[in-house]
Chains A and B, each alone.
Chain A
C-alpha cells in the first residue's frame, strides 16, 4: 500500500466509522425505539458473537493468513462439549476437553500452513471439512445439541447482566481488550504484526516465523471455541448445520469492512470493532424496520460494496503501485 497510508489520508476505518455514525444518527432520528438504552445494548449483544469470531479471524488475517475453519471449529467443538456434558461428563471437564481439541486443531492448521506450506485459504477450507466430518462421525451424534441440565447455570451466566451490561457484551469487550494488548504489548503479538507486514524481513530479523504461524492458528481456533461457548450459553443450544451457513463470510465481512488488510500486517482490534459496529447498527435498524431476512442480506451486501467503492476512490490504486497477488 506504500506511502498512501500516510497521515493525511482518510482510511477505510474512518470511512466505515463515518458511515456507522451516519446510519446511527439516521436511525436515531427516523426509527422509533432505536435510540433507547435497551435497544443499544441489544444491538451490541446481537453482534458480540460475530465480533469475537471477528477478533479470531483478525489474528489470522493480520498474520497474513485466513481461517475459514473458524466457524466449523466453533460449532463442532462446542457441540462436542455440550454432547459430552449431556452424557454425564462434568461441564468444566468437557469444556477443558473442547479447549484442548480446539488447540490441537489450531496446531494442525498451523503445521499445515507453516511447515507443509499449503496456502492458508486452502488448508483451512479443507480442514473445515475434516473437522466437520470427524466430529460428526466420532464426536457428535445429532444435528442439534442442547445445553444439558447439569450445565444450566451457564445459561444463567450467559444471559446475566453485569453493571447494566449483558455478560456476553462484557466477554466481547474484554476479549477485544485482551487481543489489543496482545498485539501491542507482547512479543508474539508484535511478531505476528511484523510477519503479516513483511514475512521475508520477519524471517531475517530472527522472528520464529513458523512457530508463530502455529500460534496464530491456535489463537484463532481457541477464539472460535470461546465464541461457541458464549453462543451456547446465550441461546442454550448449538446447531451443527450452522457449519454449512455463510456465517464465515459474515465474519470476514466484519474484519475487512473495518479496514484490516487481507494482505496482512495492517489493522488491529479497533478495525474489527468498527466493522462490528456498522454491521450491528445495520442489522438492528433493519430488524426494527422489520425488513425481511432476505432483504437484510441484500442490504448488507450493498453496504459492503459501498464501503469498498468509497475506499477505492479515497485510496486509489494504480498499476504502478498495486501489489501482485493481492486479491
Chain B
C-alpha cells in the first residue's frame, strides 16, 4: 500500500463526509446562520465588555429579553400563518397601561387583574383576526390601522390617567415575583418565555392547530382544499399573537412600573426584525418558534449590549443596522445555496480495499471456474415474473415469489404454469420464508418485515427499529429490508441493506463502499425490533448455520460472507468465513448435503475494484458525470456457489452465456432441484441437482425438528 492510499484510507475513516450530506437534509439546518450569529455575538460581547458574563449582567439582560421573546413569538406565529401583525407595539402599550391601571389605580389583586388584561389584549387580536381572517382584509394595512387606532386610544388614556396609574404600587408578593423574581437564579420572565417557547414549539409542530397554522401559511388554497378552516385558523393566529403580546406588556408593567408614552413604540419593527433575523420568512411557509426565540435573543443582546459601550450618539443604530443587514444577507445566501451544496455531497464515497480478485476463467482451476450448467435450467413464469428476488415453497410445493409491484405471486405446483397474485403488500417483497405454521414471512423493501398468513391476511411485524444514539438522520425506519431467517426461538434476524438509499438507488450504495447497512432482530415476544449489528457493507443474505447460536450473512459490496453469533458464549462475535468472493454475494440458503448455497448477483471488475481504493475519484465521478455513466458493479453475470460452514468453496454453477439467468439474487434447493431467482431476470430457473436428496425441503431444517 502506497502513501496516498494510506492517506485516503485514514481520511475516509476519520472524516465522516456522509454526515455533511445528512445534516444538510435536516430541516433544522435552516437555522444554522442565526445560531452562528448567536454564538458569535456572545463570544464577541464577552470579549469586548467587561463583566458581560457576570451573573448580575446576564440576569438583567435576560429579564429584558423575556418580553421581546414573547412578542417575537407572537409575531412569528402570525408570519407563519402567512400574515403580519403590526399592532403588537400598540397592544403592548395597552397591556402596560391596563396592568398599571388595574393593579395600581383600581388596586385589584394581580392574579385577577392579569388574566383580565391579557384577555382584553386577546380581544384586540380577535378584532385583527376577524378583519384579516374572516373578512379577508390585507394583513399589513389592517394591522397598520389597528396599530394607529390602539395607539391613539392608549395615548388618550395616558393623557388623562397617566399620572394616576403610577401613584401607588401594590404590596403583593406575586407582583414582586413578576417584577424581580428568580427561579434558581434565573429571572422569572425569561424562564416564562422559555417555557412558553417549548410549549408553543410542540404546539406548532405536533398539535392540530399548529399544523393548520403552518399549512395556511404555506399555501392558503391547499389548506382550504385539505379541509382546513382557513379563516378561523388565520383569526386564531392573531389572537395568539395578541395574547402573547399582552403577557409581554404585563411583564413590562411589572418590571418598570412606568406609564410613559414610549412603551412599545416601534416594537412591531423590533419584533419583525427579530422574527426575520431568526429565519422566519415573511409571507409564511418557513418559520419556527426556536427561530423566533433565537432572533429575539440576538436582537435584544445587541441593543442592550451596545448601550453599555460608551459610543457617540448614532453609533448604536448604525451598528445594529449593519449587523442585521449582514446577518440577513448571509441567511439569504445560505438558504439559496443550501440545495446546491446538498446535491453535490450526498453521495459520499469512502475508502475500501477490496480482497484479491480470484480468477473465474474456465481453465483457472479455482472452484469459481465458469461453466455453463445453468443453461439447462428450465424456465418458470417466463415473462410473467418482474422483480423476483427470492423464492419460497409452501407445504404443497407451491412456489412463491415477490414482484416489483408489491405483489407476492404464487405459482401452482407441480408444473408451475399457472400464477396468481397471492397478496398485495406494496414496496418490493424481497427475502421470503415460510414459518412452521405455514405463514409466509417477507422482507419488503421500503416497508419492513411482514407476515402473510394462510388466509392471506397481511400482518406488519416490524417497521421501526431503535434509533441510533447521536445519528443525524432518524434511522429508526426500515428503508431496505432485504433477507431474513428464523432463529430457533422464533426471533427473526433480517438484514437492512442500506439506510442511506432506497431500493431504486441500490447500486449507488456500492459507490460509497461504507457500512451503511445493518442486521436487525425482531422478537415475537415483545413484537419489537432492535438493531444488533450496525454498519455492514450492504448486508444481504441471511442463513442460520444450524448450531442455534450463529448465522451466516453476506456483505455484498465487500464480497465476503461472515458468521455472526447472536447467542451463546461468543455472542456478538463476527468472523469472516469467505473473505474473497469473485462476485457480489446475495442470498444464502441451505443445501441438502448440509452445506450452503450462495447466489452471486454480479461479478467484481478490476476497474471498480481499483476505484474502491480511490474515494476522491468516485466522488468526482458522482458530481460531474451523468449517473447512467458511472462505474457500477457488473450485474450482467451471476452464478451460484456452494460452500461449507468453514468457508471452503465446493462448487459453482454458471450461466456463462448470460442470456437466461444473467443475474442471480437467490436460489433455493427444493426436492432435488435448485430454483434460481434474479431480480432483473424474466424467469425463474429450475435446475436439477445431480444426486441431490429428492425429498429435501429446507423448511424441515427449521420447523419439523421441533415437532
Docked Cα-Cα span, A246 to B89, in Å, equals: 12
Check B147–A249 contact: CB distance below 8 A: yes
Is A325 a contact of B82 with CB atoms below 8 Å? Answer: yes
A121 vs B312: C-alpha distance in the bound complex, in angstroms? Answer: 28
**Cβ 8 A contact of A305, one of B131, B140, B225, B328:** B131
Does A150 have its Cβ within 8 Å of any Cβ on chain B?
A: no
Task: Encode A125-136 as 1/0 by CB contact (under 8 A) with B.
Answer: 111111111111
Does B509 lie at the interface of the complex (its beta carbon under 8 Å from any beta carbon of A)?
A: no
Q: Contact between A327 and B328 (Cβ–Cβ < 8 Å)?
A: no
Contact A301 B315 (CB under 8 A): no
21 A–B contacts from the bound complex (CB under 8 Å):
A122-B276, A122-B324, A125-B272, A126-B325, A130-B322, A130-B325, A131-B321, A132-B317, A136-B314, A246-B151, A262-B138, A294-B155, A297-B148, A298-B153, A301-B147, A322-B136, A324-B219, A324-B221, A325-B82, A325-B284, A327-B83
- Are B320 and A325 in contact, CB atoms less than 8 angstroms apart? no
Residue of B with least CB distance to A123: B325
Q: State whether the Cβ of A326 lies closer than 8 Å to any Cβ in chain B.
A: yes
Report yes or no: B137 in contact with A309, Cβ–Cβ below 8 A. Answer: yes
A179 at the interface (CB under 8 A from B): no
Contacts of A305 in B (CB 8 A): 131, 142, 145-146, 149
Residue on A nearest B266 in the bound complex, by CB: A244
CB distance from A290 to the nearest CB of B (A): 16
B329 located at the interface, meaning its Cβ lies under 8 Å from any Cβ of chain A in the complex: yes
Given contacts A298-B152, A309-B135, A127 and B325 within 8 Å (CB-CB): yes
Interface membership of chain B positions 80-104, coded 1 if the CB is closer than 8 angstroms to chain A and 0 otherwise:
0011100000000000000000000
Residue pair B139, A327 in contact (C-beta under 8 Å):
yes
Cβ-closest chain A residue relative to B228? A319
Determine whether A218 belongs to the interface, using a CB cutoff of 8 Å to chain B.
no
Q: Is B381 an interface residue (CB 8 A)?
A: no
The A-contacting residues of B in range 313-369, CB under 8 angstroms, are 313-322, 324-325, 328-329, 332-333, 336
CA distance A118 to B317 in the complex (A): 19
Q: Do A133 and B317 have beta carbons less than 8 Å apart?
A: yes
| Given A300-B148, A309-B131, A327-B82, A132:B219 Cβ within 8 A | no
The residue in chain B whose Cβ has the minimal distance to the Cβ of A108 is B325
Q: Given the known inter-chain contacts A249-B147, A297-B152, please indicate yes or no for A324 contacting B220, CB distance below 8 A.
A: yes
B265 within 8 A of A: yes
Q: Is the CB of B276 within 8 A of A302?
A: no
Q: Which residues of A contact B322 (CB under 8 A)?
A: 126, 130
Distance in Å: Cβ of A196 to nearest Cβ of chain B: 16
Where the two chains meet, the residues of A that have a C-beta atom closer than 8 Å to any C-beta of B are 112, 116-119, 121-123, 125-138, 244, 246, 249, 252-253, 256, 262, 294-295, 297-298, 300-302, 304-305, 308-309, 312, 316-320, 322, 324-327
User: How many residues of B are counted as interface, with CB atoms below 8 angstroms from the partner's CB atoms?
Assistant: 58
Contact check, B139 vs A312: say whether CB atoms are below 8 A apart.
no
In the complex the two chains form, is B314's CB within 8 Å of A317's CB?
A: no
Contact B325 A112 (CB under 8 A): yes
User: Which of A244, A246, A320 lies in contact with B148, CB distance below 8 A?
Assistant: A246
- Complex CA gap A302/B152 in Å reads 11
Interface of B is mostly: helix
Max chain B Cβ within 10 angstroms of own Cβ: one of A112, A117, A125, A252: A125
Q: Which residues of A contact B155 (CB under 8 A)?
A: 294, 297
Query: Does B156 lie at the interface of the complex (its beta carbon under 8 Å from any beta carbon of A)?
Result: yes
Chain B residues near A129: list those with CB within 8 A. 317-318, 320-321, 324
Beyond A130-B325, A133-B321, whether A116 also contacts B151 by CB under 8 A is no
| B 232-254 contacts with A by CB, 8 A | none
Whether B221 pairs with A320 at a CB distance below 8 angstroms is: yes
Q: Are B221 and A319 closer than 8 Å at their CB atoms?
A: yes
Cβ 8 A contact of B319, one of A112, A131, A133, A308: A133
A320-B222 Cα distance, complex, nearest whole Å: 9
- Residues in B with CB closer than 8 Å to A130 are 317-318, 321-322, 325
Residues from chain B with Cβ under 8 Å of A252 in the complex: 144
Whether B321 lies near A127 (C-beta < 8 A) is yes
Q: Give every chain A residue within 8 A of B329 (Cβ-Cβ).
A: 112, 116, 118
- Whether the Cβ atoms of B221 and A244 lie closer than 8 Å is no
A125-B269, A256-B141, A324-B283 are known contacts. Are A297 and B151 too (CB-CB below 8 A)? yes
Asked if B148 contacts A301 (CB within 8 A), the reply is: yes
Known contacts A126-B325, A126-B328, A308-B141: A132-B314 contact under CB 8 Å:
yes
What is the chain B residue whose CB lies nearest that of A127?
B321
| In contact, A302 and B149 (Cβ under 8 angstroms) | yes
B148 — nearest CB in chain A belongs to which residue? A301
